[in-house]
Amino acid sequence: MAHRTGTSAAGLALIAVLALQLAAPAAAACQKNTGGACTYSAANAQGDCCAGKTCHPVLNQCYPNPRTVGQPCLDDDGFGCAANLSCDPVWKRCMQDPRKEGQACIAHSDCSSGLYCNDYTRRCQAPNAANTKNCHATLPCAAGYSCDTIRNQCFVAPRTADTPCVGREMSNPAVPNWGCAAGTTCERVISWECQPFAGLQKACHDTLPCQAGLSCHPYIQKCFSEPRQLMQPCGTVTVNGKQQTFACDSDAGLTCDISIGKCVTAARENQSCYAGRPCAAGLSCHPGHQTCMRVPRLEGQPCIDDGTDATNDFKCADTNTIGEPLSCDMLATKRCVKQQTYAKTSKVAGAHCYEGRPCIDGLTCSTSDQKCYSYPRIAGEPCIPGAGADHPEKCGPGLVCRADTKKCEAPKLLGELCYPGFPCASGYSCVNAFRLCARTSQLAGEYCDPAAGPTECAAGLTCSAQWPYCVRAPVTVQSKLQKARAF
C-alpha cells in the first residue's frame, strides 16, 4: 500500500508541473491572417497583416502575397496573383489563366482552348450541343451543329426534318437550300422548317415540292403521280396566267374525264361516253346515244354513213355473223340492217328496201312495192314501162313491160290477146278489132280488120267485108287480062 501511495504522489507532482507550464503565458500569435481586418497605408503595404500577406487598400483585409484563386487582386506588385493566375480586370479577382469552364471571362481569349466566353453569363463554357439553348453570335454550337439565332438554340447542320431553316429571320438563305439536308427543303409558308419532299397525296406548295415522280396540283395543293393514275386529278389549270396540264397514264388505259377532272379508264362497250371520257380502242362513242359501240358496227346497232371518211367510226361491218351483207339504214331506222334479198323469199316482217337499205348484189329495189327483184327483171316481176337500157327496173331480154300491169312479160304470139302498149312478138301484129296477135300478112282464114282494108292479108287475099277473115279475092275480067299479060 505504501508503494502504491508513493507512486501516486510522484505522478501528481508531474501533473502539477505540466499544469504550471501550460498555465504560463506564451508569445503572442499573429491575428491578421487571410480575411482579417487591417489598416492599409502607402508606406506599409503589409499593414498590420501577418507575414506573407498584404493589406488590400480598398477592402482593408489581409490576403496572401501573391494572391490565390478567387482572392481580390490588383495589378500592382504585392497585390498580384500567383503563377498561372491573372487578375481579372473587371472582377478584380485572381483567375486561372486561361480560364476553365464556369469561370468568369470577358472575351473568348480569356478562356481555355475549346471554350467560349458566354456574353450573357460572362462565364467560360463549352460550345452548346444539339437542342440546347443559349447559343448566339459569340457562343457557337459544337461541331456538326449550328445556332438558330431566333430560338438561340443549336440544331444539327445541315438541318434535318422538323428543324428550323438557316437564314429564316431575314427570309434569305445563308447557305444553299436554306441549310437543309439533301432530300429536304425549307417550307417557307407556315413552319419555316426543313421538311422532306412531299409524298403521294401529301400537302405541297411552291416551297414544299413533291418527291420525284410526283407533281403538285396547284388547286388541291397535294402531290399526285406523274402521269396521273386512276381517279387522280387531271386536266389543264391556269395559275397566275400560266397554264399547266396534268395528263393521265395512257399506257394504263386512262383518260382525263374533264367533267369531273379525274383520270378514269376509257369507257368499255355499252358504257357511257362523252367528250371527257372517250371509248377504249376498237370502240367509238355514238352521237346521240353517248354509248361506246364496236367499230365497225354490227347488225342492229346504230350507224352513220354519209359516204365520207368523217363517219368511218360509225359505219357498218361488211357482213353480219352469218355472212349476209349489211348496210346503214340512214333513212328510217339509222341502224345496220341486212341488205334485202329477193322479195319472194324474204320472210322478214316489213323487209322493204329503200335508200339506205339496198338490195343485195344482183337485185334492185322496185319503186312499186319497195321490195327487191331481179336485175334485169324476169317475167312477172314489177317494171317501169319504157325504161331505158340502164334503168334499174327494166325487163330482161325478150320481155316487155306491160303498161297496164307494169310487169314484165314475153311479147304475145299468134292468136294471143294484145292491145296498145303491149305488142305482139316479132313477125306479128295486133289486130285492133279483136286485140289478137296475127301475122303481119295474114293467111287465108286468119283474122283481119275490114276497116284496115285488104293490106292486112297476104297477096291474093283480101279481108272479107262480111266476115273478118282473109279470103281469096274474086276473079274479074280485068284481073284475068292482067294475069295474061304477065305471061
Profile the chain (487 residues) by mean pLDDT over runs of 10 residues.
43 45 52 85 84 90 91 88 88 88 85 84 76 71 84 88 87 86 91 94 93 94 95 92 92 87 90 86 93 94 92 93 85 83 55 77 86 89 90 90 86 71 72 70 74 69 78 62 49
Cα(40)–Cα(56) distance, integer angstroms:
7
Given 3-state DSSP classes, what are the helix, strand and coil percentages for the chain, each rounded to the nearest 5?
10, 30, 55
Report pLDDT for 20: 43
406 & 345 share domain: yes
DSSP state of 432: T
Separation between Cα atoms, residue 403 and residue 323, nearest integer Å: 39
Query: 3-state DSSP call for residue 336?
Result: strand
Are residue 390 and residue 422 in the same domain, yes or no?
Answer: no
Alpha carbons 285 and 270: distance in angstroms, whole number: 9
pLDDT at 18: 44
Shared-domain flag, residues 446 and 477? yes
> Residue 83 falls within a domain, yes or no?
no
In a domain, 398, yes or no: yes
How far is CA 74 from each of CA 55, 63, 64, 80, 367, rounded to the nearest angstrom? 11, 12, 12, 5, 138
C-alpha dihedral sign at 13, 15, 18, 22: negative
Whether residue 465 is contained in a domain is answered as yes
Q: Cell triple for residue 84?
A: 498561372
Q: Is residue 406, in this structure, part of any structural domain at all?
A: yes
pLDDT of 475:
57
Number of other residues whose CB lies within 10 A of the CB of residue 292: 23
Q: Is 397 domain-assigned?
A: yes
- Among residues 388, 356, 352, 357, which one has the least CA distance to residue 368? 352
One domain for residues 444 and 475: yes
Distances (CA, A) of 33 to 25, 51, 83, 245: 22, 9, 21, 91
Q: DSSP string covering 96-109, please?
A: ESSBPTTSB-SSGG
Same domain, 363 and 348: yes
Q: Give yes or no: residues 344 and 364 share one domain.
A: yes
Strand boundaries in 113-250, DSSP class E: 116-117, 124-125, 145-148, 153-156, 184-187, 193-196, 214-217, 222-225, 235-239, 242-246
Quote the DSSP letter at residue 423: P
Do 427 and 465 lie in one domain? The reply is yes
| Segments forming the whole domain that contains residue 477 | 413-481
Among candidate residues 410, 438, 461, the one where a domain is terminated:
410
Domain end among 392, 410, 428: 410
Task: Provide the pLDDT for residue 17.
Answer: 41
pTM here is 0.44
Q: How many CB atoms lie within 10 A of CB 214?
A: 20
| pLDDT reported for residue 8 | 47
Query: Which helix (H) or strand (E) covers residue 401, if one does?
Result: strand 400-401
Neighbours of 2 (CB within 10 A): 6
Domain count for the chain:
2
3-state SS, residue 81: strand
The reported pLDDT for the residue numbered 3 is: 40
pLDDT value of residue 421: 63
Answer whether residue 451 is part of any domain. Answer: yes
First to last CA, the chain: 240
Domain assignment of residue 379, yes or no: yes
In this prediction, residue 433 carries a pLDDT of: 62
**Pairwise CA distance, residues 476 & 484, whole Å:** 12
Q: Are residues 389 and 425 in the same domain?
A: no
C-alpha cell at 284: 367509238
Instruction: Provide the pairing of β-strand 193-196 with 461-463.
Output: unpaired
Maximum separation of any 2 CA atoms in the chain, in Å? 246
Question: How many Å separate Cα 392 from the centre of its chain?
Answer: 57
The CA-atom distances, in angstroms, between 22 and each of 13, 14, 27, 28, 29 are: 14, 13, 12, 15, 16
- Do β-strands 336-338 and 363-365 pair in parallel, antiparallel, or remain unpaired? unpaired
Domain co-membership, 343 together with 401: yes
Domain check: are 349 and 404 in the same one?
A: yes
- Does one domain contain both 427 and 471? yes
Dihedral of CA atoms 290, 295, 299, 302 in degrees, nearest 10, equals: 20
Structural domain ending residue among the three candidates 410, 437, 470: 410
Judge if 398 and 351 occupy the same domain.
yes
Q: What is the pLDDT of residue 195?
A: 94
Assigned domain for 234 exists: no
Q: Which residue has the cell 395543293?
A: 221
